[in-house]
Structure formats: structure tokens, C-alpha cells
């Protein structure tokens, strides 16, 4: 690279960072105050683009029309944010931690279909900014004038947000709530109003980030998920709640990407290294590095201790009779139902073990994982590759796969248990994404983006019913084992660590060691679920290790209820079944799915099983 191209790539990186910063700043603000992991933030960004497109078409392509549209679109997105907060989130602030994530996930589905309905499926290429459509020549290279404007807008917005936060009463309240929201409430501040206003400001920032992209990015339906992961990464790398940190992180990531592209392919010691392929994962590499070195991000502070409103309720083991009845019923299904029911149940059984293993770590062990698909996927790939590349019999591959997943969990877990809260969750996501990108790129071994094919079970398991029984036995045993472990001294130690790390350490529990062991245990069992899944499908693709798969796990756990043991199983069953039924019958199935989840969220804020238990308890009380 010459000096000129280095400079230009630097400017490119800075321009790309601008919108990323706006979106992340909004996310950071919302998370800081409300502690909500807002999946729908990317959807707000997408709406910002669509809104700006329509408004410019309406006002005309004049400077006033363009900028008026950008501002109005951002404000309109702010109103959508208010709607989401008032109609949905406000009703579930008291729900167990992370439950709101489920609601925002449903909102993503609904908004996506609304956008499809309103704007259609075709990409909408917006106009260039009037008056800024030309390029500026710098050192013999041309760079769009609009990019230079974006580079300037970033710091301006940073300054404005900083003023808002430090020089206004509202800002003082926001900072106070970020530090200790219970205390702010106790001092008589109307939390509902504060939350709504924060949601508005955060959403406006997301909408503005989107609207400003209109000359650079066609409005399309994939934008929401394309930006949300990056926005989370920026927020966490910068340090949660730190706007300055988000700015810094956005620049680091934007510039790093630009340089990966600028460097292109180089040859080192006879090996070709393609830096441009690194763009797939570079933000996650940066996040992993930053979190390993600085556990609270670049400019973040340790999270203030949250006082749990109510301690998590006691876990109840399902009784042996209850378990036996279900087991017998499940074993009888293939005799009574058709072939497809058995196949659907095989899926459900795999996902049940996957979600129970996730629940083990995020519920009782108190370590949320956003990247649990890593172990599911590694298990699946290990099973497939051991059979295809090493020629092992299918049975051996199936039993060895969990060990491989466990090995990876040993490495990943070692780093993760050093962190806590959302930082830990995001580090698990980073590892999952790094694994995904390796699988995705390593064509000669993993089959790259296509995956591995022709991994069907041995003859005696080829029959779908036989395979269902195998899945039922293996996954059922895995689930029972995990439940048993929760009531062993090991399980109690983990729960002690979740409820009070200080006291746990004081009475001599090697908390980190225990948590590490828990990681390895659930990693291996998620790997088992993945291996069973792989052989039931006959093929395995990078989707099994993707963010979508991790998210599915979270949705299953939360849908069923994170504070119960059977919840994750019920969640896995309901979610898989719903998707099967809903996707079959309706054109706008995503919106229907989102609507159903929202309904469940609002009716059962403790998840399905949690809610049912509460209902039963209340009914018993009334009778007594």
C-alpha cells in the first residue's frame, strides 16, 4: 500500500464508522439505563433507511427534501421506539433478566414483515445527497464528498450526546440510572418516563444512523441483522454505557475493516494470506482480543452490582413418575403418529438438549452465552468430519463428537469465565463467530459455505423411528444427567456463585474452576445434541454454528422460562413446533411467529412453564 492509499483507506474506515457509531451509541444508551439487550435496534436502523427513502421520494430530491427526510425519518423511528417501549417492554421490566430479549426478538420478526409488506421485496437504491454527489480529489484519489461529511457528523453527534448527558438534568438522570437504577427509582424519579425518553433518544440515533446511509446503502430487508451484531460488538468493545468508548470502538472496527480490504492478498513465506476474507470476522477478533485484555471494554467500568429484585426461585426436580410418564408417551409416539411426527420430534429432542445445556449455564450457573451454537455446531461438524474424513464408523463419530466440542469448550471457557454479565456473553459470541468463520472458509476440510454432505446414520439406524429412539435415549440421558448435576454439590456451588460470588469464594469454593468445568460440561452436551442433529439431517452446514442458531437457543430457554428446569424443554418443543406450523400456512409467517411470541411474552412474563406454575400456585392459594 502506498501512503496515498493508506490515507484514503483511513478515510473510508472513518466514513464507515460514522453510522456504526450512531447506531451503537443508541444501543449503549438504552442498555445502560434499561439493561435491555435490544435485538430490535437493527430493525430501527433499517426503518430509518426505508423511511428516508420514502420521504425523499415524497419531498423531492432537493437539499431541503433530502435533509428534511433524514431528520424526519430519524424522528419517526424515535416514535416507533416509544411504541415498542410503551406497548411491549414496559410490561415486562420485572421479568427475569434477559427476558426482554425475547420480546425484542419478536419485534424484529414483526418489523421485518411490515417492511416487506410496505416497501416490497426489491432493493431500494436511494438518491445521492443533493449537492454532495461528487467526489473530492485527495492525493490523486477520489473520495465521495458525502463520506467526508459523514466523517464530520460522527464527532458532532458525539459532542451533542455528551452535552446532553453532562449538561442537562435528563442527562444526569440517565447517568445515574446507568450506574444504579434502583437508587434512582428510590429517589423518586419516574422511571417509566425516563425509560421511554431514553428509548426515544436511542431509537432516534439508530434511525439517524440508518437515514444517513441512504446515499451509500440500498434499503433492503437484510439490514437489520447485518448491523445488529456489529452494533453489539462496538458497544461492548467500547464499554457498555460509554458513548466515547462506542465512538472509539466504531473507528477501530471501521478502520480495521478498511485496511483488511486495502491490504488484500499478500504472500508471506510462500503462503497466500487473503486479508480481504478476514472482513468476515475481523470485528469479532477485535472484540475477543479487547475483552481478554480489558474485561470491561476499552472505556467501560465494572458494572454496578445489581440488587436482584427477588432471588431466583428454588428449582424443582420433576418427579420420577412425571418423567416416566413423559418418557413412555414419547416412546409410544411412533406407534401412533405418522412418519413426519417422528422426524419433527427428533428435531425437538435435539433442540431440547441444546436448550437445556444452554439453560444450565445461563440459568443456575449465571453465565449467559450468546454463542452456544459454537458447541452445537462443532459437535455436528466433528461428527460429520470424523466419519467422512477419518472414516470412523458412524457410532464412534457420534460418541466422540461431544468430546471434541468439550475440548473447544475447555479453550473458550477458560477465557470466558474471567468475565461476567454481558461481556461474558459477548465473548462467547466472539468465539462462536470465529469458529463459524473458520468453518465457513476452510473449504478443503469443512466444505466451506456448503458444508459436509452424505453423513447418514448406519444401516440399523436408517429407519427414522429407530433413529428417533436413539435421539430420545441420548438426548434424554443428557438432559437427565444435567438436571442431576444441578442437585449435586457441584450444582449447588454454581448457584452459590451466581447468587453471591463473594460469599461463595469466602467459603472456599473455587468459583472460576467450577464455572470452567460447567462450560466444558455443557459444551460437550451441546456437542452431543449437534452430533445427533447432524446424522438426522444427513448434512451439516455453517448455519448450525451461526448467530441464528445461538439465538434460537436463547429464544427456546426464555420462551419456556429460565427459572424452571422443564422450561427449556417446553420452549424447544413449542418453538420448533410453532415454526413448523406457522411457516407452513402463512405468507407473512415471520410476523405471525413474532406476534405469537409477543403474546406469550405479555401473558407469561416468566416464560410458559414459569407462568403456568405461577397460575397453579395462585389457584392452590385461593382454594386453601
- Asked if residue 488 binds another protein (CB under 8 A), the reply is no
> Least separation, in Å, of the C-beta of 585 and another protein?
10
Task: By CB under 8 A, name the one of 72, 82, 116, 399 that touches another protein.
Answer: 116
Q: What is the DSSP string of 213-237?
A: TTTTS-B-TTHHHHHHHHHHHHHHH
Stretch that binds another protein, among 23-31, 36-44, 140-148, 167-175 (CB under 8 A): 140-148
In SS3 terms, 57-113 reads as HHHCCCHHHHHHHHHHHHHHHHHHHHHHHHHCHHHHCCCCCCHHHHHHHHHHHHHHH
Task: By CB under 8 A, name the one of 62, 118, 168, 274 that touches another protein.
Answer: 274
Residues 11-40 that bind another protein (CB under 8 A): 12-13, 15-16
Residues 510-539 that bind another protein (CB under 8 A): 533, 537-539
Select 536 or 564, whichever has its Cβ closest to another protein. 536
Stretch that binds another protein, among 138-146, 233-241, 298-306, 411-419 (CB under 8 A): 138-146
Q: What x-and-dash track marks residues 236-265 binding another protein by CB under 8 A?
A: ---------------------xx--xx-xx
What whole-number distance in Å separates Cα of residue 162 and Cα of residue 31?
A: 17
Question: In which element (H, E) is residue 325 found?
Answer: helix 320-336
144 - beta bridge partners?
135
The C-alpha cell that represents 125 in the structure block: 437504491
Task: By CB under 8 A, name the one of 197, 395, 589, 595 that touches another protein.
Answer: 589
- Asked if residue 154 binds another protein (CB under 8 A), the reply is no
Select 104 or 213, whichever has its Cβ closest to another protein. 213
Task: By CB under 8 A, name the one of 60, 63, 118, 133 that touches another protein.
Answer: 133
3-state DSSP percent of the chain in helix, strand and coil, to 5: 75, 5, 25
Residues 36-75 that bind another protein (CB under 8 A): none
- Asked if residue 138 binds another protein (CB under 8 A), the reply is no
The residues, ordered by sequence, that sit 6+ positions from 178 with a Cβ below 8 Å of its Cβ are: 32, 33, 241
Stretch that binds another protein, among 66-74, 81-89, 435-443, 507-515 (CB under 8 A): 435-443
- Asked if residue 266 binds another protein (CB under 8 A), the reply is no
Cα distances from 32 to residues 90, 178, 247, 421, 444, in angstroms, run 16, 5, 16, 13, 44
> Least separation, in Å, of the C-beta of 549 and another protein?
9
Residues 318-377 that bind another protein (CB under 8 A): 338-340, 343-344, 347
> Least separation, in Å, of the C-beta of 271 and another protein?
15
Residues 537-556 that bind another protein (CB under 8 A): 537-544, 548
272 - beta bridge partners?
267
Give the count of beta carbons closer than 10 Å to the beta carbon of residue 309.
10
According to DSSP, residue 142 is labeled: E
Select 138 or 309, whichever has its Cβ closest to another protein. 138
What whole-number distance in Å separates Cα of residue 170 and Cα of residue 616?
A: 43
Question: In which element (H, E) is residue 48 found?
Answer: helix 41-59
Closest by CA to 343, choosing from 577, 35, 133, 168, is: 577
- Asked if residue 178 binds another protein (CB under 8 A), the reply is no
Amino acid at each position: 500500500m502506498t501512503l496515498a492509499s493508506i490515507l484514503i483507506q483511513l478515510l473510508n474506515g472513518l466514513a464507515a464508522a460514522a453510522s456504526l457509531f450512531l447506531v451503537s451509541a443508541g444501543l449503549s444508551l438504552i442498555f445502560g439505563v434499561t439493561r435491555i439487550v435490544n435485538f430490535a435496534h437493527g430493525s430501527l436502523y433499517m426503518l430509518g433507511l426505508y423511511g428516508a427513502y420514502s420521504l425523499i421520494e415524497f419531498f423531492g430530491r432537493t437539499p431541503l427534501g433530502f435533509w428534511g427526510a433524514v431528520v424526519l425519518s430519524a424522528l419517526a423511528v424515535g416514535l416507533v421506539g416509544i411504541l415498542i417501549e410503551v406497548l411491549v417492554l414496559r410490561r415486562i421490566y420485572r421479568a427475569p433478566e434477559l427476558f426482554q430479549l425475547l420480546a425484542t426478538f419478536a419485534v424484529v420478526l414483526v418489523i421485518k414483515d411490515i417492511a416487506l409488506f410496505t416497501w416490497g421485496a426489491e432493493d431500494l437504491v436511494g438518491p445521492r445527497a443533493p449537492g454532495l454527489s461528487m467526489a473530492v480529489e485527495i492525493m490523486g484519489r477520489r473520495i465521495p464528498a458525502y463520506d467526508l461529511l459523514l466523517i464530520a457528523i460522527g464527532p458532532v453527534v458525539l459532542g451533542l450526546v455528551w452535552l446532553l448527558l453532562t449538561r442537562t438534568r435528563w442527562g444526569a438522570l440517565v447517568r445515574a440510572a446507568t450506574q444504579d437504577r434502583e437508587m434512582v427509582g428510590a429517589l423518586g424519579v419516574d422511571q417509566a418516563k425516563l425509560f421511554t425518553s431514553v428509548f426515544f433518544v436511542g431509537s432516534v440515533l439508530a434511525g439517524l444512523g440508518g437515514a444517513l446511509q441512504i446515499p451509500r446503502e440500498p434499503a433492503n430487508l437484510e439490514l437489520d441483522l447485518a448491523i445488529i451484531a456489529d452494533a453489539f460488538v462496538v458497544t461492548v468493545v467500547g464499554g457498555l454505557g460509554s458513548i466515547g468508548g462506542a465512538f472509539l470502538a466504531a473507528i477501530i472496527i471501521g478502520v480495521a475493516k478498511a485496511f483488511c480490504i486495502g491490504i488484500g492478498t499478500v504472500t508471506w513465506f510462500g503462503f497466500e494470506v487473503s486479508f480481504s476474507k478476514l472482513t468476515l470476522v475481523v470485528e469479532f477478533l477485535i472484540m475477543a482480543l479487547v475483552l481478554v485484555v480489558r474485561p470491561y471494554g476499552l472505556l467501560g467500568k465494572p458494572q454496578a452490582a445489581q440488587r436482584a429484585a427477588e432471588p431466583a426461585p428454588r428449582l424443582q426436580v420433576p418427579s420420577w413418575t412425571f418423567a416416566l410418564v413423559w418418557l413412555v408417551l414419547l416412546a409410544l409416539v411412533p406407534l401412533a403418529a405418522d412418519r413426519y411426527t417422528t422426524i419433527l420430534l427428533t428435531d425437538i429432542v435435539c433442540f431440547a438438549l441444546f436448550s437445556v445445556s444452554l439453560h444450565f449455564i445461563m440459568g443456575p450457573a449465571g453465565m449467559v452465552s450468546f454463542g452456544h451454537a459454537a458447541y452445537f455446531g462443532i459437535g455436528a461438524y466433528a461428527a460429520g468430519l470424523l466419519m467422512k474424513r477419518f472414516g470412523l464408523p458412524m457410532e464412534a463419530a457420534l460418541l466422540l463428537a461431544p468430546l471434541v466440542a468439550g475440548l473447544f469448550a475447555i479453550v473458550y471457557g477458560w477465557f470466558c469465565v474471567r468475565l461476567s454479565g454481558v461481556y461474558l456473553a459477548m465473548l462467547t459470541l466472539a468465539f462462536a463467530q470465529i469458529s463459524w468463520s473458520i468453518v465457513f472458509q476452510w473449504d478443503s476440510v469443512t466444505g466451506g459455505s456448503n458444508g459436509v454432505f452424505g453423513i447418514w446414520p448406519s444401516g440399523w439406524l436408517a429407519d427414522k423411528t429407530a433413529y428417533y429412539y436413539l435421539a430420545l435415549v441420548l438426548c434424554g440421558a443428557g438432559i437427565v444427567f444435567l438436571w442431576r448435576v444441578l442437585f449435586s454439590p457441584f450444582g449447588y456451588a454454581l448457584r452459590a456463585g451466581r447468587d453471591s460470588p463473594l460469599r461463595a469464594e469466602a467459603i472456599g469454593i473455587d468459583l472460576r474452576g467450577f464455572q470452567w468445568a460447567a462450560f466444558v460440561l455443557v459444551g460437550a452436551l451441546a456437542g452431543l445434541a449437534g452430533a445427533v442433529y447432524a446424522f438426522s439431517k444427513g448434512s451439516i452446514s455453517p448455519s448450525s454454528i451461526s448467530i441464528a442458531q445461538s439465538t434460537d437457543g436463547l429464544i427456546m430457554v426464555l420462551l419456556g422460562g429460565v427459572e424452571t428446569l422443564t422450561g427449556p424443554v417446553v420452549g424447544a418443543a413449542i418453538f420448533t413446533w410453532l415454526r413448523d406450523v406457522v411457516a407452513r400456512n402463512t405468507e407473512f409467517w415471520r410476523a405471525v411467529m413474532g406476534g405469537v411470541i409477543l403474546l406469550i411474552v405479555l401473558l407469561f412474563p416468566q416464560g410458559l412453564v414459569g407462568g403456568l406454575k405461577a397460575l397453579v400456585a395462585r389457584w392452590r392459594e385461593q382454594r386453601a
